[in-house]
Amino acid sequence: MRKLELQTSWGNLLLVGGSRAGEGSLLLLPQFRLALDAGFPLRALVPMEQVVVSHGHTDHLAGLLAWAAQRQLQNLGPARVYALEPLSQQLRQLLQLGAAMESGKPYLVDVVRVTAGQTVHLRPDCVLRFFLTSHWTPTLGVVLSWHKRQLKGEFWGLAPEAIRDLRQKGIEVSETVEVPLFAYLADTGPEILEKESWLAGVEVLVVECTFLRPQDRERARRFGHIHLDDLRSWLPFVHNRHWVLTHLSRRHRLGPASKTIRQALATEHGPQVHLLNVEWP
């Protein structure tokens, strides 16, 4: 399991998780009690109250049943899972079956069917929005936006007393701006950056980088994954503050792969690169 603390305009964003293609991928945002995929039964997954299951591949959901069962055992209260149709229906059946095998008492988990474009409030000032990525099976990506209250531009530079006077006269001095703070791309091919060009401006971009070697480019295309060369070609077009890379293929050994990735993506003004890949036990 890896832990990252990333500086953003919202404050320090904590990320916990681990990832390896085919074996298990999950990313937790403990400050929001939110899990993005549940591909491994991590103990840290249990307190998460909302889980987005990006798609039906086992490496993204194998920990879901253990999560629901542990929440039941520890009396942790109701929770939610978000998924596309028909996966949402299938997950509902999976959880019903799991509960039936254990005790017959249904888990307190509501599986919510979502569609691209739909939004969910995580808290009053933070919204999750779903979009489709570019994998070979329908796959959900999510963006977390912060609805930041700030002083309207026309009042910048005014003394605090002057602003207070305006407020007392009933004049609205602040406005809400939407800050795209964080996006999770789950499994995807590189076309996603053209389809969702706003991703270039998200502060924290969690993006897969499954393959690294030149001979794996074709494989990456065929299975809807991103190759290191794709990410390198994105560098001149993005102004993300952080890249968190996931989903490394088991064709690559962790240590040398991390070195290769860091070397390939090292730039003076580009995003800070963080790696979420692990060697699961």
Alpha-carbon gap, residue 27 to 187, rounded angstroms: 13
Q: Which is nearer to Zn ion, 63 or 180 (CB)?
A: 63
Q: Which is nearer to Zn ion, 61 or 202 (CB)?
A: 61
Task: Please report how close the Cβ of residue 198 comes to Zn ion at its closest, in angstroms.
Answer: 23
Q: Which is nearer to Zn ion, 59 or 229 (CB)?
A: 59
Task: Please report how close the Cβ of residue 233 comes to Zn ion at its closest, in angstroms.
Answer: 22
Task: Please report how close the Cβ of residue 127 comes to Zn ion at its closest, in angstroms.
Answer: 26
Transcribe the chain into DSSP letters. -EEEEEEETTEEEEEEEEEETTTEEEEEEGGGTEEEEE-S--GGGTT-SEEE--SS-GGGTTTHHHHHHHHHHTT---EEEEE-TTHHHHHHHHHHHHHHHHTSPPPSEEEEE--TT-EEEEETTEEEEEEE--SSS--EEEEEEEEEEEE-GGGTT--HHHHHHHHHTT---EEEEEEEEEEE--S--TTHHHHTGGGGG-SEEEEE--B-SGGGHHHHHHTT--BHHHHHHHGGG---SEEEEE---TTS-HHHHHHHHHHHH--SSSPEEEE-B----
Task: Please report how close the Cβ of residue 135 comes to Zn ion at its closest, in angstroms.
Answer: 6
Q: Which is nearer to Zn ion, 122 or 206 (CB)?
A: 206
Task: Please report how close the Cβ of residue 62 comes to Zn ion at its closest, in angstroms.
Answer: 11
Q: Which is nearer to Zn ion, 60 or 241 (CB)?
A: 60
Task: Please report how close the Cβ of residue 258 comes to Zn ion at its closest, in angstroms.
Answer: 19
Which residues would be at the binding site for Zn ion (CB under 5 A)? 57, 59, 187
Q: Which is nearer to Zn ion, 187 or 216 (CB)?
A: 187
